[in-house]
């Protein structure tokens, strides 16, 4: 049976091995990462350039940590940056920014803001507009294959793969955003979730077949708590909201449905590849922890954007964060949401610090983790049914 970890972060984990607690910060020489804008460290910037639509190319993006825009969709660091720091490696450079093997000495980030999990042909068949330049997950895996061919000319391929930490960041939100922007109802979008999961699973299997030994795969954030969706799907139906958090119950359950399917699929992959360590990286749990217990983390605003275009959630499609007419909070460190969908540096840091407090012995590990996921899904179950 494969090592199958369920993390609230990557530091202290639940491991399917008796009495073992594992730290990610050990022995890895490279990080290879994939995903969308929650993981992108500059590829979108290199594809689209400094154009008006690319808000991540200008301040206030990057202001809190880097003090200048880096192409990250945040005021500072991303979860990937904290993972790299914990491992003891430099921040993972964007693949499209490199032109030599030296640039990729410690790995590469293939994530692109706006990328989907699904092949764009699926959207085209439905007549749904999609930003083709952002690409999709299979393209990122192809980029990795091309880079690996080059790296293997200078290093032993097995050594590269054995000592690399692979991170498949959150994928799926852009698929759902694309459908939603085309006025496809979520009752229909739900039918495409299994396809999204299959696309993610296909990428994971491809990486394993190439020799990857340690892979972390992230779930999605609770969309029902994001200022963007709270604005776009705003309704006078009070029963659709959680009275404590202000989040949209049914949309959060949609996110939980995605996560459950992903968890189950990773579990199956783990059984197929017993020598590979597969990690399920939980965004949803830590995010909800911040929403439900903000003061515990030094937060004040949970469902209002720090940077945005006004309104009850400080979000608007126009003006967007960084555009003329948008507003900026004074203390980003007190906010969960940076611009309506992406997180602040502070929120990423909190997610990077949250962890389970106990290690489960092998005979109970997978069962216990599965029960925890099912408990989450069973709670607050208004709306979309799994």
Catalytic pick among 6, 120, 297, 342: 342
Nearest to 119 by CA among 142, 135, 143: 135
Count of CB atoms within 10 A of residue 318's CB? Answer: 8
Residue 323 annotated in active site? no
Catalytic pick among 37, 326, 333, 337: 37
First CA to last CA distance, the chain: 27
DSSP summary character for residue 116: B
Give yes or no for a contact between 89 and 31, defined as CB atoms under 8 angstroms apart: yes
Residue 202 annotated in active site? no
CA distance 382 to 362: 34
The DSSP bridge pattern shows strands 307-308 and 327-328 to be antiparallel
Give yes or no for a contact between 155 and 107, defined as CB atoms under 8 angstroms apart: no
* Beta strand residue intervals within 98-169, DSSP E: 107-109, 164-168
CA distance 282 to 218: 6
DSSP summary character for residue 23: -
CA distance 138 to 327: 37
CA distance 249 to 227: 14
The DSSP bridge pattern shows strands 164-168 and 214-218 to be parallel
What are φ and ψ of residue 269, in 5° steps? -65, -40
Most distant pair of Cα atoms in the chain: their distance = 61
Catalytic pick among 36, 339, 345, 380: 339
For the record, the structure tokens of 278 come out as: 């597969």
Give yes or no for a contact between 354 and 10, defined as CB atoms under 8 angstroms apart: no
CA distance 167 to 147: 16
Residue 318 annotated in active site? no
| H/E run at residue 372 | helix 362-378
CA distance 31 to 105: 10
CA distance 345 to 161: 30
Residues belonging to the active site: 37, 339, 342
């Amino acid at each position: 049976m494969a090592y199958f970890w369920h993390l609230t972060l990557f530091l202290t984990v639940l491991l399917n091995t008796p009495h073992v607690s594992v730290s990610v910060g050990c022995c890895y020489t490279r990080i290879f990462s994939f995903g969308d804008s929650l993981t992108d460290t500059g590829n979108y910037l290199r594809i689209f350039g400094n154009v008006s639509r690319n808000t991540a190319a200008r301040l206030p993006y990057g202001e809190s940590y880097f003090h200048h825009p880096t192409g990250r969709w945040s005021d500072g660091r991303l979860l990937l940056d904290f993972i790299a720091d914990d491992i003891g490696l430099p921040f993972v450079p964007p693949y499209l920014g490199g032109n030599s093997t030296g640039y990729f000495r410690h790995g590469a980030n293939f994530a692109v803001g706006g990328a989907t999990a699904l092949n764009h042909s699926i959207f085209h068949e439905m007549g749904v507009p999609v930003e083709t330049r952002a690409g999709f997950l299979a393209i990122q895996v192809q980029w990795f294959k091309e880079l690996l061919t080059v790296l293997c000319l200078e290093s032993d391929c097995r050594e590269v793969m054995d000592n690399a930490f692979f991170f498949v960041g959150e994928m799926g939100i852009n698929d759902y955003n694309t459908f939603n922007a085309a006025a496809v109802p979520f009752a229909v979008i739900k039918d495409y979730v299994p396809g999204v999961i299959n696309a993610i699973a296909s990428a994971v299997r491809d990486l394993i077949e190439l020799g990857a030994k340690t892979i972390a795969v992230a779930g999605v954030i609770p969309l029902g708590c994001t200022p963007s969706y709270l604005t776009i799907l705003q309704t006078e139906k009070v029963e659709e909201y959680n009275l404590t958090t202000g989040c949209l119950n049914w949309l959060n359950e949609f996110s939980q449905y995605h996560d459950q399917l992903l968890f189950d699929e990773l579990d199956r992959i783990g059984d197929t590849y017993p020598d590979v360590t597969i990690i399920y990286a939980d965004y949803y749990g830590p995010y909800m922890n911040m929403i439900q217990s903000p003061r515990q983390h030094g937060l004040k605003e949970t469902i209002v954007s720090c940077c945005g275009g006004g309104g009850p959630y400080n979000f608007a499609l126009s003006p967007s964060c960084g555009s003329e007419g948008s507003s900026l909070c004074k203390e980003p460190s007190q906010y969960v949401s940076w611009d309506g969908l992406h997180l602040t540096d502070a929120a990423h840091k909190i997610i990077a610090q949250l962890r389970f407090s106990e290690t489960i012995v092998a005979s109970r590990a997978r069962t216990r983790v599965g029960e925890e996921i099912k408990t989450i899904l069973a709670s607050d179950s208004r709306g979309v049914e799994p």
